[in-house]
Amino acid sequence: MKAKILFLFGMLHAAQLLGQDDLLNMLNQEDAKKTTYTQATFKGTRFINGQTVETIAKKHLNFWISHRFGALNSGFMDNFLGLDEAKIRLGLEYGISDVWLVGMGRSTIEKTYDFYSKYKVLRQSNAMPITLTMYGSLATNTMPTGYTLPSGNMMRYENNLQRQTYMGQLLIARKFTDKLSLQIMPTVLHNNKVESVYFDNNLYSLGMGGRYKLTNRLSLSAEYYKNIVDTQNFLETSGTPYPYQDSFSIGFDIETGGHVFQLHFTNSKGMIEKHFISQTTGTWANADIFYGFNMARTFSFEPDKKNKK
């Protein structure tokens, strides 16, 4: 009897191997051994003002046009709710490899040129829970010396070295579901010259950001930077309140083939780290916020195989 059962088992086993599904199962088992990387944690290389962990593909070029209109609370008759004025940043970024990009830009604010590089160190996969990207930038201020900052302080430069600001950031992100991705970004920013003796040359900040996909082509994104500044100490030593705020931005990403449009509200007028992390003056409470948009157009310089044939 036992032998008969075994015999039947043997027959079943043989019959099992015949099934098409088992051929597929075998293939699935083989496939499960391979590393699979998570794709498209975020739609773009930027959230709103800050950067995401995303880099662009090798030989691809992104052209960024970013606009921030005037403050919403600047009056309807006087300033058409801010739409009468605009600050612009034009930027280009290029993928040296699939994980390394370099970029540059020019901002209206403080006539600043910025140069940056991002390198993806770790990629989220079935073996790695997060994506880690290193990001560094240099901002060069080309304003004539002796201009007044939004805080009211006068900025004077004696040499070109004083005009430089350096920034380093770790971008750590995880795509939790196909809809939800979150990121944190510890930041250090160094100004070679600060506006008064009461400011520290180094500014530390912790950024947080996320996106939630509402549809395949529309997502909601937000970012917040918590600056680590002893405002109480600043008030006691300088006699005036700390003039800058933490930056908070919220908006929508709309994707059409080849373009990403980002429409948002932010209390920061600047579009590079030096400006939006360390020099944000607007507050959400006073509606001192700015409507803005970013547009990115991607160009591919990868030769099309079909065209070669």
Among residues 26 and 88, whose Cβ is nearest to other proteins? 26
Query: Which of residues 112 and 298 has its CB atom nearest to other proteins in the complex?
Result: 298
31: left (phi over 0), alpha (psi -120 to 50) or beta: alpha
Of the pair 9, 80, the CB lying nearest other proteins is at 9
Contacting positions for other proteins (CB under 8 A): 2-3, 6-7, 9-11, 13-14, 17-18, 20-21, 23-24, 26-28, 30-31, 34, 36-37, 39-40, 56-57, 60, 178, 216-217, 255-258, 298, 300, 302-306
Q: Nearest approach, Cβ of 101 to other proteins (angstroms)?
A: 12
d(CA 215, CA 252): 11
Question: Given the complex with other proteins, which of 6 and 121 has the nearer CB atom?
Answer: 6
CB of 126 to other proteins, least distance (A): 11
Closest approach of Cβ 216 to other proteins, in Å?
A: 5
User: 3-class DSSP state for residue 130?
Assistant: coil
Neighbours of 102 (CB within 10 A): 15
Residue 40 makes CB contacts below 8 A (sequence gap 6+) with 54, 175
CB 215 within 8 A of CB 42: no
Beta carbons within 10 angstroms of residue 187's beta carbon: 23
* Min CB(45)–other proteins separation in Å: 12
Q: How far is the CB of 231 from other proteins (least distance, A)?
A: 42
Q: Which residues pair with 291 in a beta bridge?
A: 265
User: Nearest distance from residue 104's CB to other proteins, in Å?
Assistant: 21
Q: Which is nearer to other proteins, 10 or 186 (CB)?
A: 10
Q: Which is nearer to other proteins, 16 or 231 (CB)?
A: 16
- Whole-angstrom distance, CA of residue 170 vs CA of residue 33: 30
Inter-axis angle of helices 20-32 and 2-18, nearest 10: 80
Judge contact between 37 and 127, C-beta under 8 A. Answer: no
Nearer to other proteins, 159 or 256 (CB): 256
Quote the least distance from Cβ 170 to other proteins, whole Å: 24
DSSP, collapsed to helix, strand or coil, labels residue 305 as: helix
User: Are the CB atoms for 35 and 125 separated by under 8 Å?
Assistant: yes
